[in-house]
Amino acid sequence: MVIRIGTRGSPLAVWQANWVQERLTQAHPRLNISLIKIKTKGDKLIDVNLEKVGGKGLFVKEIEEELLGGQIDLAVHSMKDVPVQLPKGLHIRSIPRREDPGDVLISRDHLTLEELPLGAKIGTSSLRRKAQLLSYRPDFHIVPLRGNVDTRLRKLDSMGLDGIVLAAAGVKRMRLEGSISQSISPEVCLPAIGQGALGIETRIADEEVNQYLGILDHEATHMSVIAERAFLRRLEGGCQVPVAALGGVSDRGMLMLKGLVGTLDGRKLIKGGIEGEIEKAEELGMDLAESLLSQGADEVLREIYEREIARAL
């Protein structure tokens, strides 16, 4: 059987697709697997802030169109890029074991966040990171920064930045661990929904392909990501809103979820946590969102959305 994997063409995306291809080939040697690189809108708009051009979905829409059209048989995504609402007929079949879900700092002279000078310039494309970094160090000057891992590393020098903050998973998958100055605690910077996890998207009706992919699914990771995405879906958040969450399964088999909603300037962070049975992952995510909304997150989100509407008019 021939299986065509759709992926973005960035080095990290190709690495992730190759990883899936290798695991499938090991488990099913008779499969003929190929990679098809697809350029997405997010790849084309390299100099535009994501929150200004649509946020989530910019790195998956064209790939999903190819999947729905039958040009590819499965798609490999970074789960943090996948909108919580999927096109009709598609689903996330498998989520492999998660890589480090956290953020890392790469800085000049390997200084930590605490050691960086007053008014240090920090590069990041994420409003989530911006809000939490400003909450931790209000003196930081946050500079918008986009591009793949290598591009961002080059911009550390070319833009005169003191540091950049990236997802740990991407840095480690590209074997650039030596450049990491600090692993940032989730207590300082809670990750994006799905960060560090891969999602393998298929057509629901494609039973044969779905059967092959069962071996790649990691239940604890999958259920944790389901909880995080339910949290985000209830908040109706995206790239335009500082929303963060991280789930995990304890030694007792309980799912633990932490979540956060923040103002754009980081002056107000509303945090919470919840624990429950792993089978109730989606319910837990919704319940945590309701808890934060009742603590004032609804007002924070309303203010941000109203500001975005006013800016668009």
Rg of the chain over CA atoms, in angstroms?
A: 19
- Is there a catalytic annotation at residue 81? yes
Residues 134 and 170 in one domain: yes
> Hey, what amino acid is at 53?
V
- Is 50 exceeded by the pLDDT of residue 107? yes
Say if residue 233 is in the same domain as residue 211.
no
Whether residue 71 sits in one domain with residue 39: yes
Tell me, yes or no, whether 113 and 58 share the same domain: no
What pLDDT, on a 0 to 100 scale, did the predictor assign at position 55?
55
Mean pLDDT of the chain: 92
In a domain, 192, yes or no: no
Q: Are 27 and 39 in contact (CB under 8 A)?
A: no
Same domain, 66 and 142: no
> Is the pLDDT at 47 greater than 80, yes or no?
no
pLDDT value of residue 200: 98
SS3 string, 219-253, reads HHHHHHHHHHHHHHHHHCCCCCCCEEEEEEECCCC
CATH number of the domain bearing residue 304: 3.30.160.40
Last residue of a domain, one of 132, 161, 184: 184
Give domain status of residue 45, yes or no.
yes
Q: How far apart are CA 286 and CA 173, in angstroms?
A: 31
**Domain-located, residue 191:** no
Phi and psi torsions of 30, nearest 5°: -80, -10
Is 83 in the same domain as 8? yes
pLDDT for 45 equals 55
- Is-contact 134 128, C-beta < 8 A? no
86 and 203 share a domain? yes
pLDDT band of 53, cuts 50, 70, 90? very low
Residues 86 and 17 reside in one and the same domain: yes
pLDDT in tens, 128-185: 999 999 999 999 999 999 888 888 989 998 999 999 999 999 999 999 999 999 999 9
Mean pLDDT is lowest, of 11-15, 45-49, 107-111, 248-252, for 45-49
Is 109 contained in some domain? yes
| Angle of CA points 47, 107, 131, to nearest 5° | 60
Which of the following is catalytic: 43, 47, 73, 81? 81
| CB neighbourhood size of 66 (10 A) | 17
Residue 240's pLDDT is 73
Q: How many CA atoms lie within 13 A of 113 on its CB side?
A: 25
Give percent of the chain with pLDDT exceeding 70: 92
Q: Return the CATH number at 120.
A: 3.40.190.10
Residue 189 forms part of a structural domain: no
The answer to whether residue 16 scores a pLDDT higher than 60 is yes
Same domain flag for 90 and 117: no
Same domain as 152, residue 83: no
- Is residue 190 domain-resident? no
pLDDT tens-place string over residues 58-80 = 789 999 999 999 999 999 999 99
Q: How far apart are CA 225 and CA 296, in angstroms?
A: 24
Question: What pLDDT shows up at residue 46?
Answer: 55
Percent above pLDDT 90 for the chain: 83
Residue pair 209/74 in contact by the 8 Å Cβ criterion: yes
Q: How many domains does the chain have?
A: 3
Q: Please say whether the beta carbons of 269 and 294 come within 8 A.
A: no
Mean pLDDT of 5-22: 96
Q: Is residue 67 situated within a structural domain?
A: yes
Non-local (6+) Cβ contacts of 288 within 8 A are: 227, 231, 245, 257, 259, 272, 273, 274
Question: Is residue 44 pLDDT above 70, yes or no?
Answer: no
Q: Using CA atoms, how far apart are residues 273 and 136, in angstroms rounded to an integer?
A: 20
pLDDT bracket for residue 11 (50, 70, 90): very high
Average pLDDT over residues 82-95: 96
224 and 211 co-located in one domain: no
**pLDDT value, residue 304:** 83
304 is a domain residue: yes
Write out the residue range of the structural domain in which residue 160 sits. 103-184
Pairing relation of β-strands 90-94 and 198-203?
A: antiparallel
The per-residue pLDDT for 309 is: 67
227 against 303, higher pLDDT:
227
Q: Does residue 202 share a domain with residue 162?
A: no
Residue that finishes a domain, picked among 184, 206, 236:
184
DSSP tag of 97: P
- Which position has the higher pLDDT, 43 or 196? 196
Judged by phi (left if over 0) then psi (alpha if -120 to 50, else beta), residue 28 lies in: beta
Please state the pTM of the whole predicted model: 0.91
